[in-house]
Amino acid sequence: MPQKTYLQAISDGLREEMRRDERVFVIGEDVGVYGGAFKVTQGFQAEFGPWRVLDAPLAETAIVGACTGASLMGLRPVAEMQFADFISCAWDHLVTVAAKQHYRTGAALPFVVRCPSGGGFSGGPFHSQNPESSFAHIPGLKLVCPSTPEDAKGLLIESIRDPNPVLYFEHKHLYRRIKGEVPDGEYTTPFGQARVHRPGSDVTVVTWGAMVYTADEAATVLAARDGTSVEILDLRTIIPWDRDAVLESVAKTSRLLVLHEDTRTGGFGAEIAATVAEEAFAQLDAPIVRIAAPDTPVPFSPPLEKAFIPQIDDVVQAISRLAAY
């Protein structure tokens, strides 16, 4: 299979669905002539025309509102938030209207909101957030957080074909940094099925997005240093999430570390920890540990941002403590 970057995989998945299904169109700020802030849609307007690659004004509520109306009329919009942070402007329409439309009327509402998320570029508090946990509490929304190029494409196609709203969080730090094998042509990656990124027997790490690679580097350090065997579960989707895979891994290792880049209080890691505590407490040999960002805005300063985002050493130290129980 060809090697592609995470960004190329997203672009390919979107392009292939637009070629396959004329109902699919793109809308967002600078997605057309400019090709998107990160060039995911570069060349799309030349291929599909301005009526299927729509440059929108700086109005996220209008973008999401247009998606709602268009999907009710049988189209399949894919909106791009220039940065995931900006989705807060569309909170009311997304949460009050779109998420509840199927419950209220039984109508399908098939649209995707692509959300470039995450830090690592000193973008500061308005361009670096990971807001997936904010939406995990909202019934009617599905939340997708791919970490590999293969999943980025397969999960995007699955999202576009889903009959109801999907928030697709693509981590900016992975765009050109991560490459991997990506099948050509059409395939989907199902929601709610975690992926074993790295098998292990001593400690389970549950994570998603860019933190998969932080966990993997920490596991490599520990394996070389003292032979600690770390199993890394990549959830791939937050809503729905794969409870069975997490519980199965915890039953094997008896130790759980939950790792995410979002802030700690109210982060989705708390939901995972609570579920394991309720359903697998007798199988635990150590307290459940969470590693997350502190409860502050994302700093601009590169050293402060590094202190804010969980680092390899943080994970190494936490796993070492868990393995010592």
Report yes or no: 44 and 26 within 8 Å, Cβ to Cβ.
yes
Q: What is the pLDDT of residue 1?
A: 82
- Output the CA torsion sign for 76, 179, 184, 46: positive
Q: Which residues contact 46 (CB under 8 A, 6 or more apart)?
A: none
Reported pTM = 0.97
Q: What is the pLDDT of residue 2?
A: 87
Tell me which long-range contacts 221-224 makes (C-beta under 8 A, separation of at least 24). 221/312, 221/316, 222/316, 222/319, 222/320, 222/323
Please give the Cα distance from 59 to 82 (Å, whole number): 11
Give kind and range of the element (H or E) at residue 291: strand 289-293
At 69, is the secondary structure helix, strand, or coil? helix
The tokens of 210 are what? 């860019």
* Cα–Cα separations (whole angstroms), residue 116 to 10, 38, 245: 11, 9, 27
Q: What is the pLDDT of residue 194?
A: 98
> Which residue's structure tokens are 């293969």?
150
Residuewise pLDDT in 10s, the chain (325 residues): 889 999 999 999 999 999 999 999 999 999 999 999 999 999 999 999 999 999 999 999 999 999 999 999 999 999 999 999 999 999 999 999 999 999 999 999 999 999 999 999 999 999 999 999 999 999 999 999 999 999 999 999 999 999 999 999 999 999 999 999 999 999 999 999 999 999 999 999 999 999 999 999 999 999 999 999 999 999 999 999 999 999 999 999 999 999 999 999 999 999 999 999 999 999 999 999 999 999 999 999 999 999 999 999 999 999 999 999 9
Residues designated catalytic: 127
Residues constituting the chain: 325
Q: What is the pLDDT of residue 137?
A: 95
- Sheet strand arrangement including 76-80: 53-55, 24-28, 76-80, 112-117, 166-171, 142-144, 237-239
Q: What is the pLDDT of residue 241?
A: 98
At 254, is the secondary structure helix, strand, or coil? coil
Q: What is the pLDDT of residue 179?
A: 97
